[in-house]
Structure 1
Amino acid sequence: MEDTQEALHIVVFPWLAFGHMIPFLDLSKRLARRGHDVTFVSTPRNAARLGSVPPELAARLRVIKLDLPEVEGIPEGAESTADVPPEKVELLKKAFDGLAAPFERLVAEGCAAAAGEAEAAAFSRKPDWIILDFAQSWIWPIAEEHKIACAMLLILPVGFLAYVGPKQQNEAQPRTTTEDFMVQPPWIPFPTTMSFRRHEAEWIAAAFRPNASGVSNADRFWQLHHTSCRLIVHRSCPEAEPRLFPLVTDLFGKPVVPAGLLMPEDDDDDGARGGDDDGSFSDAVRWLDKQPKRSVIYVALGSEAPVTADQVRELALGLELSGARFLWAVRRPVVHSGALLPDGFEARVAGRGVVRAGWVPQSLFRFGLPLVMLPFIADQGLIARAMAASRVGIDVPRNDADGSFRRDDVAAAVRRVMAEDEGGVLARNAREMQRVVGDRAKQEQYVHELVDYLQRYK
C-alpha cells in the first residue's frame, strides 16, 4: 500500500455460490496484500471448503462464519448452490435472506466495540465499506444505519449488466415475451453480439419474475442499485469488453469500474477448491506432462451450470467420438446418484482421456488456447456469442427450443478446434486475446485503481 493511502476496513460478503465466493476471496487477498483490513463473511461449511487464509495475510484477512438458517426444502447441511439441485437455488436465497439479522448483529457489535461502547466483537474497527453481491437487498438499511459505504461486486461480465439495464429503462421499454429477451435491448446504442438462444432467453426472463424466495433476482439487484451502492464493480476489464464501461456508468448514474479478471494467483491454486474433494491432482498433472504440446482439450462447464445426467453422457460420447485427448473436470448433478458416465467409457478412452471429479487448478489453462463453447447458464451465452464473433472458439450447435445437443456436434466442434482450426485462425486469435487480458501487471493495476475509488467514495 502506498504511504499516501489510508488503510481501509472492508467487509466482503458474497452470495453462496463458489463461482461468486472464489473471486470475492481473490479480491479480498489482493486488498489485504495492499495493507487493508478485510473481513470475509460466509457460512461455516463454505468457509471450510474455501481453504485457509495464507499465513502472510492472517493479520489482515479474517473469515467470519454465520450459520445459515434452516428453510424447508433445503437439504440438511446445504450451504451453497453446489449442494442443491437447480430448482432449489431460489430456496437457498430465502435461507440467505435469513442472514440479515445475524449480519446486522455482527456489524452493530463491531461498530459499538470500535466506538468503545461494548466489549470486543468479531472486529474492533468500524468498516469503511461493505462489498456485497447482487442478492443482499436487505443490507442497505444496515449500512445506512451505521453509515457504511456499499459497493456491489458483480462476477458477471459488464455486458450482462448492460443487457439487464436499469429499472427505469425496463419500465419504459418493458420486455414481456421470450422473443424480447433474445435480442439486444434498445438502450444499447451500438451493435454488439448480445443475444440469447430461446432456451437461454427463457432462463433470463425468469430472473425478472418473483421466485420461491419471494423476490426476483432483477429486483434484488435494482433495489441495491437504487439505495445503498455507491460503486458497481465488475470482474472484467475494458480490454475484454470495449465501450461498455462508459455505457453502463451512464445508464446507472454511478461509477461502474473494473476490478480486473481476478484470476487466482499461481500459489492460490491449492486453496479454494469449491467443493469437498480433497484428492491430489498430481496424477492428472503427470499424465498431462506426458502429452504432446497443445494436444489436450480441457473440459469444464463451470461450478454453477445446471447440467443433467443425460447431458453429461452425451458430452462424454461426443468426446469419445472426437478422438481427441482430453482432461475433464466433471461435476455430478446434485440430484443424480447412479452411474454418470456411459458404460465402459473410461476403459474405451483410457490413455487419451482423464476424468477428474471435483476441483481442477485453473491456472493450468491460462495459455491463450481456442475454445469449444457449450453455455448453460446466465452470462455464458453472451460470452459464447462474443468469443465466437471474435473467432477465438467454436460454439457447439444446440436445439434453440430446449438447449439439447448431439454427441456428433460435440465431436465435430472439438475436431474443428483441435485438429483443423481453419488455418490456425482460432489459435492466433486466442493467443492475441491472452496477450491482452492476461497481462498480470495491467490486471493488478485495475485493483489498484479500484482501491483509489474506495478511498475517494467512502
Structure 2
Amino acid sequence: MTMEEAAAGDKLDVVLFPWLAFGHMIPYLELAKRLAARGHAVTFLSTPRNVARLPPVPAQLAPRLRLVALPAPVVEGLPEGAESTADVPPEKNELIKKAVDGLAAPFAAFLADAVAGGRRPDWIFMDFCHNWLPAIADEHGVACAAFQIVPAAMIAFFGSRSANAAHPRKTPEDFTVPPKWCASLPSAIAYRRHEADWAAGMFRPNASGVADIDRLWEITERTRFTIYRSSDEIEPAGAGAFALLTDLFQKPAIPAGVLLQPEFDGRDDDKSISGASPAVLQWLDSQPPKSVIYVALGSEAPLTASNLQELALGLELAGVRFLWTFRKPSGMSEPCADVGELLPTGFEDRTRGHGLVWTGWVPQVRVLAHGAVSAFLTHCGWGSTIEGLVSGHPLVMLPFVVDQGLIARAMAERGIGVEVERVESDGSFGKDDVAAAVRRVMVEEEGKVFASNAEKLKEVLRDQRRQDQYMDKLEGYLTRYKPTR
C-alpha cells in the first residue's frame, strides 16, 4: 500500500442531518466544514428551501462538501413552504417535528441509493429528533452518532431514562431545582418557575405524537456516542459535564469545541461576511469605542408586545448607546404596519443619535467584533452566547425557552453578566428591570468585573490550538469506532 492509499484509507464519509431550525443547521454546517477541511467527504442533508437559504459552501471545500435537499413532506397544518421553525410561529414547531418524521422515507431512499452507488457513509450525525433514523442506518451497516448543539449541562439536567426512572419529576416545580444526579453542576443551574412548564413539556407527547425526551433518549441509546458543540472551558462543570454524561448514558460524550465562525478562527472563507460594510456597521463606525450595547433576541423568542415596549423603555431609561436588531416575533398575532407600531410612541425620535433600531439583516459576528460594542443583551441561545463570549463581551441576559435559562444561570455563576430581573411566576419584566441590568453591566463599577471575566474567557475560547485538539479527539473517535467493511 502506498502512503497516498494509506492516507485515503483514513478519510471518512460522513452525513450530517440537523433538525429543521437555523440555530441547528448553522452549527451542523460549521462542523461539516471542519470535517471537509480535514479531507473527509461530507454530505449535509436538509430540505430544498433550507438548503437554498444556507450560506454557500466555500470554494475550496466544495469538492468534499455537498448540500443535498430531500423533498419536503406535506404536513397538515403547516403553511406551504414552511420547512423550518423560522417559517412558523412557536406553537407550530411541533408540526415541524412531524415534518421531520415525514423525511424518513426520502432519507431511506437517499441512503439506499448511496450504498448502491458505492458511497456507503461511515457515519451519520443526527439531531435530537431523528429517532427513526438509527433503524434505517442499521439496515445498511452504517454507524450513527448524535450531535447536540446545546450545552452538555442541559442534556445532563434532563438526564437518562434510567436516572429519571429512579428519580421521577412529575411537576414543573421539579425542574426548578437540580436533579439528584447533577451534583457536579452548580446549584444555581435550574429553571425558573416561568420556564419550567417548557421543561416539563419535554416529557409529554406533542403534535408529532412523540415526547421530545423520548426522541432524545432513543437517539442517545441507539447511537455509538454523542458529540457536543461545547468544550471543557465553557461548560459550568468543566470536563465534569462530559464525564457525567458518559456515566449517565454509558457511552462517550465528546466535545467538538465551540465551532467558531470564520472571522473568529482566522479562516475568513465566507465572502458573505467579508465584503462591503452594511449600513449598520457604518453606524457603529460613528460611535465611540466600547460605548454600545448590542441587543438581539433571536428570531424565534416568544416575545409579546408588552415585552417589546418594556425592553425599549428600559434601553431608553438606561441612557446608554444601543444597537437593537429588531425582528417582529414570529408568534405575535397583533397586526402592525411597521416596527414603529410595536415601539413606544416617540421612542425612535427620543433615542436618535445614540440608539439604532435595525430591522434588516445584521452580520452578528461582525457586529460583536466591532470596536464600538462593549456588551451584549441576548436571549442566551447557545450559538449567540458563544458568539458573544468569543468577542469578549459581558452579557445582559433575557432568556425564554429551551436551554436559554440554564445558560443564563451558568453565565451569571461565572460572573460574565447579569439576568434581567423577572416575576418568578410568569416571567414578566418592566423597564426598570431592563435599565438596572443594562446599567450594572455598562455603567456601574461592577461592570468592570463582568468585562474582565468575559475577556479572560474570550482568550481561552479563541485559542485555536485548543479548538483543533477537540476536533483531533473527535476525528480519533470517528476513525476508531467506524464499522469495518
Same fold (TM over 0.5): yes
Distance in 1 (alpha carbons) for counterparts of 2:271 and 2:411: 29
Question: Are positions 1:54 and 2:58 aligned together?
Answer: yes
Any idea what the Cα deviations from partners look like across 1:241-270, whole Å, max 9, x if unmatched? 212111111111001000111121113666
Greater RCO, 1 or 2 (C-alpha within 8 Å, sep 6+): 1
Classify the secondary structure of the residue corresponding to 2:147: strand
1:298 alignment counterpart: 294
Q: Which moved more, 1:17-26 or 1:326-335?
A: 326-335
Q: 1:79 aligns with which of 77, 83, 102?
A: 83
The answer for the alignment partner of 1:392 in structure 2 is 416
Within 1, Cα distance between the matches of 2:39 and 2:286? 42
Establish whether residue 247 from structure 1 lines up as the match of residue 244 from structure 2.
yes
8 Å CA contact retained: 1:270, 1:361: no
Match of 2:224, SS state, is strand
State how 1:125-140 maps to structure 2 within 5 Å.
125-140=119-134
Between the aligned partners of 2:409 and 2:244, the Cα distance in structure 1 is 20
Report how far residue 15 of structure 1 moved: 0.3
1:269 and 1:362 in contact (8 A); partners too: no
Go from structure 1 to structure 2 and tell me whether the alpha carbon gap of 1:55 and 1:4 turns closer, same or farther (over 3 Å shift): closer
**1:286 Cα offset (Å):** 1.2
Q: C-alpha displacement at 1:4, in angstroms?
A: 8.2
Q: What residue number does 2:309 align with?
A: 313
When residues 358 and 13 of structure 1 are mapped into structure 2, their CA distance, relative to the original with a 3 A threshold, is farther
Matched, 1:162 2:156: yes
Distance 2:109 2:344 in 1: 51
The answer on whether the counterparts of 2:19 and 2:127 sit within 8 Å (CA) in structure 1 is yes
Contact conserved, 2:280 with 2:362, CA < 8 A, in 1? no
- 1:26-41 alignment runs, 5 A limit: 26-41=30-45
Q: Equivalent residue for 2:461?
A: 437
Residue type of the alignment partner of 1:253? Q
- Residue of 177, 181, 184 corresponding to 2:178: 184
Give the direction of change, closer, same or farther, for the CA distance of 1:428–1:301 in structure 2 (3 Å limit).
same
Aligned counterpart in structure 2 of residue 323 of structure 1, from 309, 319, 324:
319
The answer for the alignment partner of 2:284 in structure 1 is 288
Q: Deviations over 1:372-393 (max 9, x none)?
A: 0101111111111111111110
> CA-to-partner distance for each residue in 1:44-68, whole Å, 9 max, x for gaps?
1111111211111110000000122
Which amino acid counterpart does residue 22 of structure 1 have in structure 2?
Answer: I
Residue identity in the other structure for 2:355: G
Q: Does residue 363 in structure 1 map to residue 383 in structure 2? A: no
Q: CA deviation at 1:39?
A: 0.4
Distance 1:209 1:235, change over 3 A: same
Distance 1:108 1:423 in 2: 57
How far apart in 1 are the matches of 2:438 and 2:212?
35
Report the Cα offset of residue 416 of structure 1. Answer: 1.2
- The residue type equivalent to 2:256 in the other structure is A
**Cα gap change, 1:268 to 1:374, in 2 (>3 Å):** farther
Is the alpha carbon distance of 1:455 and 1:163 closer, same or farther for their aligned partners in structure 2, counting shifts above 3 Å? same
Offset from partner CA, 1:228-248 (integer Å, 9 cap, x none): x11100010011121211111
Alignment of 1:377 onto 2:401: yes
Paired with 1:248 and 1:160, the residues of 2 have a C-alpha distance of 10
Conserved 8 A contact 2:302-2:331: no
What is the deviation of 1:189?
A: 2.8
Letter in 1 for 2:13: H
Relative to the length of structure 2, the TM-score reads: 0.87
Following superposition, the deviation at residue 361 of structure 1 comes to 2.3
Identity, % of aligned positions: 56
* TM-fit CA distance, 1:437: 2.0
Identify if the C-alpha distance between structure 1 residues 376 and 189 changes in structure 2 by more than 3 Å, giving closer, same or farther. same
1:412 Cα deviation from its structure 2 partner: 1.2
Displacement of 1:205: 0.6
Q: Return the offset for 1:445.
A: 2.1
Q: In structure 2, how many angstroms separate the alpha carbons of the residues matched to 1:216 and 1:170?
A: 14
Q: Which of 123, 126, 141 does residue 147 from structure 1 map onto?
A: 141
Once residues 297 and 414 of structure 1 are traced to their aligned partners in structure 2, the CA distance between those partners, rounded to angstroms, is 8
For 1:62-73, list aligned pairs within 5 A.
Answer: 62-73=66-77
User: How much does 1:401 deviate?
Assistant: 0.9
Equivalent position of 1:260 in the other structure: 257
User: Using the alignment, how far apart are the partners of 1:198 and 1:335 within structure 2?
Assistant: 22
* Displacement of 1:16: 0.6
**Aligned partner (choices 89, 103, 107) of residue 103 of structure 1:** 107
Quick one: distance in 1 between partners of 2:364 and 2:38?
A: 24
Q: Give the aligned partner of residue 353 of structure 1.
A: 355
- Mean alpha-carbon deviation: is it higher for 329-338 or for 398-407? 329-338
Partner of residue 117, structure 1:
none
TM-aligned CA distance change 1:269 to 1:287, over 3 Å: farther
User: Which residue of 403, 414, 419 corresponds with 2:438?
Assistant: 414
Amino acid at match of 1:350: R
Which stretch of the first structure deviates more once superposed, 342-351 or 210-219?
A: 342-351
Show the counterpart of 1:234: 228
Once residues 156 and 269 of structure 2 are traced to their aligned partners in structure 1, the CA distance between those partners, rounded to angstroms, is: 32
Partners of 2:234 and 2:9 lie apart in 1 by 29
Amino acid in structure 1 at the alignment position of 2:37: R
Match of 1:216 among 184, 191, 211: 211
Change (3 A) 1:11 1:389: same
Indicate yes or no: 2:196 matched with 1:201: yes
| Contact residue 323 and residue 355 of structure 2 kept, 8 A | yes
The count of aligned residue pairs is 441
Deviation at 1:300, TM superposition (A): 1.3
Given the superposition, is the C-alpha separation of residues 295 and 244 from structure 1 closer, same or farther in structure 2, using an over 3 Å criterion? same
**Counterpart amino acid of residue 445 in structure 1:** Q
Residue 13 of structure 2 aligns with which residue?
Answer: 9
Question: CA 1:264–1:8 in 2, change beyond 3 Å: closer, same or farther?
Answer: same
Aligned partner of residue 176 in structure 1, secondary structure: coil
> Please, which of 168, 172, 187 is the counterpart of residue 174 of structure 1?
168
SS in 1 for 2:225: strand
TM-score (norm 1): 0.92
- Per the alignment, residue 386 of structure 2 pairs with none
Task: Determine helix, strand or coil for the equivalent of 1:354.
Answer: strand
Determine if contact 2:175/2:199 at 8 Å carries over to the other structure: yes
- Name stretches of at least 5 consecutive residues in structure 2 with no aligned partner: 369-389
